[in-house]
Structure formats: structure tokens, C-alpha cells
Amino acid sequence: MYDKPNNILCEIRTKKKITQEELGKVVGVSRQTIIAIEKGSYDPSVCLALKLASYFNVKVEKIFFLPCDEK
């Protein structure tokens, strides 16, 4: 698990004024899955990441990024 989320899904979702439950239904996962993705404790499959990006009409790399290596 990462210390910080490796995505801006929550930011994008709240700007579009959609709930975690609504987003989960649209992309075919539970609200708990959306919560886990937003917290950075779950990395979505490529298919799910593409569905999320498609829903928000952005590139996957706009939402998801690699965590920084802390040394």
C-alpha cells in the first residue's frame, strides 16, 4: 500500500459532481472499490482504468500516475 494515492480520481469525480456509488455503477464495480482506488490502496486493472478514463473523457495518465520513489 502506498502512503499517498497514485491518482486524482477523487478530484476528477468531485468536479463532475458524481458520487462514488454512481461512478461504481457506471464502470461496473462497487463503491468500496472506488473508495480503495481513490485512497491508493487498490490499483485498478487496465480495463477498469480505461473505463474510468473513458467515462471522464480523459487519458488514463491524466487520472493515474506512478508513485514517486522516496529515498
Convert the pLDDT of each residue in 13-46 to its tens digit: 999 999 999 999 999 999 999 999 999 999 999 9
Q: Which SS3 state, helix, strand or coil, does residue 70 take?
A: coil
Q: What pTM did the predictor assign? A: 0.87
Q: Is the pLDDT of residue 71 over 70?
A: no
Q: Is the pLDDT of residue 4 over 80?
A: no
What domains lie within the chain, and their CATH numbers?
9-60 (1.10.260.40)
